[in-house]
Structure 1
Amino acid sequence: MVSKWPLLLILIITAPLLFASANATDLILTNKVITNEVNYDGRAKYTVSVTNTQDIADDICLTTPTWGMAVLSDNIITMPAHSTSAISVTMTPPMDVYIGQYAIELTAKSCKDPTVAGTTLMKISVMTELPHIEPSVDLPIGLRPHEYTMNLIAKNVGSEKVGNLRGTVSSDLFDTQSFDIGEIPAQEAKVALQSKVNIWPTSEVGIHNIIINIYQGEKLIKSSIKRVQILGSEQVTADTIVKQGIFGKSYVIKLTNTGNLAVDDSYFVKLPTWTRLFISTSPKAISSKAYGGYEISWHYSLKPAESLIVKYTFSYVPLFIILIILCALGYVFYTQGAKEITARKSVIKDGKDLKVKIAIKNTGQRQITNVTLADLIPAPLKLVKSFGTANPTIIKREHGGAKVIWKFDVIYPNEERVLVYSLKSTLGFVGEAVLPSAEVKYKAKAGQQVINYSNTASVKGKVSVSD
């Protein structure tokens, strides 16, 4: 006796397969080719038969294929049980189709029960194709105010050589540009356009489109869009012009907001400390201490594309004046100040007379020849011809008084000579008597004449009127 359990197990395992097989054959679709070899813009035609193998009548819904453009004579068929209906199907390839063979699936389902379904594959051979030109632009996606090089590349991704090509590229960021492409072999690429693109500071921040159109002759065969984003940028450039003058130097700086955002900031220039005496600025700059010197700064607020001109100037006129004064002082020091022969004058009362003493000394390191010492005796004083160690060489009247002159052939280094003479007044005076400086003349080592003066001399008291 055969056990029932193995048979029951077999039924349990095979039952779903039996039901699935039954459902799979509820709708049967077949197709008959009328024409299936077409150009890229041709129409393939088929007759599709739908068989309802169900035991019940049903409404059958046909799904239009998404490949290309399909036209069905009926999309919903009302079918009795165990019946067959035929519809016509027309297929047009998509515009970007390539040469080749394709299998397009057509699906039919019960409008009430989608599990009741059937399919058929319609084969189509595409014999020709439109040109397949894919353009690309190598600009970065994020752009800032700057000059960029834009390369536009056209690639033939089709299976046939394409000629008579041209194109245009346009955007609100730049003017429309046209370009010739010519001929591109299959599966090759070429640079169709290379140009400069300036992203100006006034360009609006945000997303912008670059539109590329490719034509074969007058026919548009490809339109492509590249999206780029203008990024916000704070950027100020400083262009400096240096103007050199005879007595100074000027720096003219043009500050320009080359970004696309308003900028509120300051411009700084660091300078050596010694230039403070000679600098002027326009407009007036703020000055502050800085490490190793000081710095001047101008505050600015600039909108995109706005400019500001600042200027600072070094005038060396004060420096030239100082140098001239120093040169003059140096010359005076050289010719007058480096006193190799000095003279000291003093006066004392000697009874009713005044006794004048002049000490002349060579303080240099060389012997000096042809030295002249002259002393003026102003009125109402009168020379008393009472000389000490040396008599004057010349006595002459001058300016209402007398001038006493001594001449020395040579005075040796560190040699000092003392000259003495007496004076008396033709009028009495009370108070202070001041005698003028004595004058010393000689020639310096370089040959130029040197004139030195002694100090003035004074004496207080009363001097009687001379008899």
Structure 2
Amino acid sequence: MMGGLSKRLVLFAFFSVVIALLSAQDAFSQANVTLTPINDEIIAMEFAEFELEIKNLEPETHTFSLDFGIAPLWSIISTPAYRIQVKSGETGSFRIFAKARSLIPDQLYSIPFTISYGDKKINRALMIKYGDVVKEPKEYKPTVVIKPEAIELREIDPRETIAFKIHLSNLNVLNMSELSAILFSEGRLIDAHKDFSLAPLERKVILIETSIDPHTKPQRDKVTIALKYQEKIIATFENIEIEVKGYEDIKTEEKTASAFLREKKDITIENNGNYDVRKTYKKEMGFFKRIFTKTEPGHYIIREEGKSFLTWDYSLSPKETFIVSISTSYVSIFVVLVIAGLVVLFYFLLRSPLQCRKNVDVSKKGDTTLIKVKLSIKNRSSSDISNITVKEIIHPLMLVSRESQIGVIEPRKIIKHKTKGTLLEWHIDRLEPFEERLIIYKAATKISIIGEIILKSALARFQYKGKEKSTKSNSYILEV
């Protein structure tokens, strides 16, 4: 018994010297390596467990690789799987698990391995006490390896279900019936769990599905997977990076309400996407319609390809809405047209059926001013007008010519007065509907005059539909 113990002590001392020599070879490496045993005392069917931490002291990022060479007696795995990338100044870590492939002698074992990065190498060894070297019996320690199916950056659509597929390996003979996988993230986007069981040495793939708010803004987050057994966390897998991708979904809804000569459109624009947007909304409208249109909020006009558009600029965060009201009313123009129509109607109803218009032609002959006056007498109704008498008073300073003209109505009376002037009177028996007659006379100034002479309106009296009516012509200012 004493001989066996001495033999083991010698072996332990030998392996310690070997480790010291290996460590001396990497004394000048630019990485700080720490190997910590988690469980280095095992028996058959158990896994030894170690934590390997590597701090990168180089000025650039390096990928560190593990190489266990040929170890025929041992089955060795690591998580992450034999390779890790570490940025300058940061620390990365491996979990290393080792199990005897078959029954092997009870003793201390040294399993050397190499850590490589760039053109440099660091040598280390796992020291495992196997079999009855372990002095006291112990319980099986729950040991499960977690390996997500995809650990690179994942892009997530917040509108869809998010699924995590996780590979699990039970590394010892412990039957675990109350396991729970918990997912959580630093930014609290992910919060899910799933209960399951693992038989001894079983490998299993579980699927955990969860969802987030569809309007979650684009962002990055880091997810951690934790295994809980008997109210304790027994394993974790950290820093699974996810990125919520942005998507745009602008919904426009238009409602129209119409009344007599009025129309109102309410346009609701909603941001159903997951990030802030700045947009422009355009509504085509012609010039005439714009005159009778008001909007809330106010708009500005742009022209594209010969068309005019009412335009609004807006900014919306997710779930926000922008409402445009367009009100068009033709009531005002309708009222104006109705009033104008009534005015025209009353004008035609109330106007005189007999139209009397005066036109004057003026000419000069020496110091004398000559005028030729034309009185147009027209029946502008659809009925006959009879017994028409037209009277014209000529200014006292004017002399009336008595020349007669063929086809022109001659005055029935010519009465002169020293102060009031000359009275001319014509008589027309009858005018048929829309018939027109012309009265012409000539006059001249008696003396040379400087200034103005007013030719007063001619007065016409007539019978229309059994009633006596009268109307006047326009007056005329004669400048001499």
Give the greater-gyration-radius structure (CA): 1
Normalised by the length of structure 2, the TM-score is: 0.44
Normalised by the length of structure 1, the TM-score is: 0.45
